[in-house]
A and B are shown apart, each in its own frame.
Chain A
Amino acid sequence: MHQIELRNIALEYASTENHVTALQDVSFSVEASEFLCVVGQSGCGKTTMLNIVAGFLKPTKGEILIGGKAVTGKGLDRGVVFQDFAQLFPWRTAQRNVEFGLEMKGISKEERAEIALRFLKLVNLEKFARSYPHELSGGMQQRVAIARALAYNPAVLLMDEPFAALDALTREEMQRFLVDVWRETKKTVIYVTHNVAEAVYLADRIIVFSPHPGTVKAQVKIALPRPRDTLSVEFLNYQKEVVYHIVERK
Chain B
Amino acid sequence: MNRSRTRAALGALCSVGLACLIWEGFARSGLFAPALAPSLTLIVSALGRMVLSGAMLWHALYTLYRVLFGFVLASAVGVFIGILMGRFRRVERFFVPLVSVLMPIPSLAWVPVFILWFGLGNAATIALVFYAATFPAIFNTWTGVRSVNRLWIRSAEAMGADERALFQKVVLPGSLPFVIAGLRQAFARAWIAVVGGEMIAATNWGLGWVIFDSKEFLNTDVMMASLAVIGIIGFTFERLIFQTIEQRTVSRWGMVKTVRG
B-binding residues in A (CB < 8 A): 54-56, 74-76, 78-80, 82, 84, 86-91, 100-101, 103-105, 132-135, 148-149, 152
Contact = CB atoms under 8 A, between A and B. Distances in A.
Contacts of A105: 160
Given A90-B255, A91-B255, A132-B252, A101 B160 contact: yes
B169 A100 contact: yes
Given A91-B176, A91-B255, A133-B254, A86 B160 contact: no
29 contacts: A56-B154, A76-B159, A78-B158, A79-B159, A80-B155, A86-B151, A86-B152, A87-B152, A87-B154, A88-B155, A89-B155, A89-B169, A89-B173, A90-B253, A90-B255, A91-B173, A91-B174, A91-B176, A91-B249, A91-B250, A100-B156, A100-B159, A100-B169, A103-B169, A104-B159, A104-B160, A105-B160, A132-B252, A132-B254
**Interface of B (DSSP majority class):** helix
B257 to A, nearest CB: 11
B165 interface: yes
Nearest to B250: A91
B155 A82 contact: yes
Contact of B151 (A84, A103, A135): A84
A177 B159 CA distance: 23
Interface residues of B, number: 24
Contacts, number: 73
B100 interface: no
Interface of B: 149, 151-152, 154-162, 165, 169-170, 173-174, 176, 249-250, 252-255
A54 B157 CA distance: 10
Given A100-B159, A105-B160, A148-B155, 20 more contacts: A56-B154, A76-B159, A78-B158, A80-B154, A82-B154, A82-B155, A86-B152, A89-B152, A89-B155, A89-B173, A89-B174, A90-B254, A91-B255, A103-B165, A104-B162, A104-B165, A133-B254, A134-B254, A148-B159, A152-B159
Nearest to B170: A89
A100 B154 CA distance: 13
A73 to B, nearest CB: 9
Nearest to A75: B160
A82 B151 contact: yes
Nearest to B155: A87
A89 B155 CA distance: 9
Contacts of A103: 165, 169
Contacts of B176: 91
Contacts of A89: 152, 155, 169-170, 173-174
